[in-house]
Structure formats: C-alpha cells, structure tokens
Amino acid sequence: MARVLTSDSARQVLHDARPMLERDPVANNLVLTLLEQAAGSTIPGTFWLVSDHRGEPRAVALRWPASMHAAISPVPRRLVGALVDAIACVAPDLRGVAGDVASASAFAGAWVEQHHQGATPVEGQRIYRLARRPRLPTAVGTLRAATTDDVGMVTTWSDEFASETGSPGPGSAVIEHRTRQGNVWLWDADGPVSMAAATSPVAGVSRVGLVYTPRHLRNRGYAGACVAALSDLLLSTVASTCVLYTQLSNPVSNSVYRRMGYEPVLEVLRYELCRC
C-alpha cells in the first residue's frame, strides 16, 4: 500500500527524496530544483512524498508557490491514485499538473475519476539535454547577470512570457528571489533585449528556462545568443550539463536549440484541471 506524506517543509521532503530523485537528475531536474529553491525560501508551498509498501520513496509532487499547478516526478502507475487523493485533501482548488507524459496523464485520469473534475491537456513540452559545448552567440551584445534594479522589468517580461505561452508565471516574489540568487541573466545590447534564467546545479545538472525576448526585439538572434552564452558559462563554472524545456508548439525554438547542441530526452505534458 502506498504512503503519502504531506508536508509544508520542502527541506524535509528534499532530504528524504534526494537519493531517489538524483538517480535520474535530468528527468527529475524540475522537481529537484524547485525543492532546492523552496527549501531556501520563505514563500509557502505544499510538498508530497510518495513511498511504496516498504517505505521506499518512489515519487515527489509539489505546489510551490501555493498558487501554482502541481509539478510531479515520474510516478509508478499503481501509486498515482494515492497521490491524487493526498493532493485533493489539501489542494481541492488545484488548477493543473505537469510531469512526464505517462505520469501527468495517469494523474489527470485519476483526478477525473476520483474527484469528478475535468482535465484538459494544454501544453506539450520536450526536455533537451546539452550534448556538446554550445556554439557561441553571433548576435550583438553581451551576457550579464540581472540585478535588483532589473526585477521590475524581469517581472513584466515574465508575465508576458506566461501570457504568451499559457504557462503559470512565477510571480514577482520568486523573480526577486531568483535574481538575488544570481540565477537570472540578460542579453544586453545597449540595454536589456532578452532574458533567461538558470537554476543552481543539482547533481551537476542546471536547467535553463524563462527564455524571453519582447516582441519588438525578436528575430535578431538575441534569445539564442543569451541561451548559448549562459549554457557555456554554466558548463565552464558550475554544471556538468544543462537541460531546458521547449514547447512542442514552437518549432523554431526546438530547431534553434538542436543546432546549439541540445538533444531531446523526453516529453512532458501539462493538464488544466477544472470543475465540471
């Protein structure tokens, strides 16, 4: 029988689940890095640790910040129902779930059956892993770390990114926290023209994300330059490899990252959950 621990302590769940999650640090990178960030933050959230009948950790889910959809690690199918029930007990207003295709689909199906709410797949993504040193950027400009003076602009860009992609935005508190941690980067060409964020490496893996260029500055190579330069910097300093997520609905970004040196690893899916 599955056992599900519900906790408001990211630190405790990370401690208990780390060995399991680090066995596949690429597939589990999103959950690992969110747990790391939450453990060092005062922003509240809820965290779930799923164990099998022997008490061995098998999966993790989290909702951080508390207004976000749930992110889940790969979950054995026989344990999905217990996880759904545990999440519904404390988060009946859950708006969505994201994870590898099999786990997210099984979660959505169990949610519909057990809690009489609808589930709609809204976004397919692919995880890429950097297979070689990235080609360096040719666009005009340089990479620089965002500062606290940039937080307002980065938050606005993040909101625009969320609006365009249909993904939940991290919010100003998370943006400020990540900026102070030195994890938000800008491509600067006589002023900021594009941005990307990077997570601190977990098990040697750093994730690049929140890649955004305002509409009036696009088609000049800024985003590709920002990601390539940031990936190269990470490999040179703190990470053994980098991963990133792309939207499958955007063939341009997928082809750009492939040419840069990123190779596909697996697909993920996000569902919206709604009352019927």
H or E segment to which residue 208 belongs:
strand 205-212
Cα 32 from Cα 22, distance rounded (Å): 8
Distances (CA, A) of 275 to 92, 95, 107, 112: 10, 10, 16, 10
- Within a domain: 266: no
| 41-66 CB burial, b ≥16 within 10 A, e <16 | bebebbbbbbbeeeeebbbbbbbbbe
- Within a domain: 194: yes
Residue 275's pLDDT is what?
A: 59
Same domain, 13 and 46: yes
State the number of CA atoms in the 13 A half-sphere of 98 facing the CB.
23
Contacts of 215 (CB under 8 A, 6+ apart): none
- Within a domain: 84: yes
Same domain, 173 and 254: yes
Residue 75 carries which side chain, given as an amino acid letter?
A: V
Same domain, 227 and 149: yes
**Regions in the chain scoring below 50 on pLDDT:** none
Cα 22 from Cα 87, distance rounded (Å): 23
- Within a domain: 187: yes
Domain range for 41: 3-126+271-275
Same domain, 97 and 54: yes
Residue 177's pLDDT is what?
A: 86
CATH of the domain at 182: 3.40.630.30
- Within a domain: 265: no
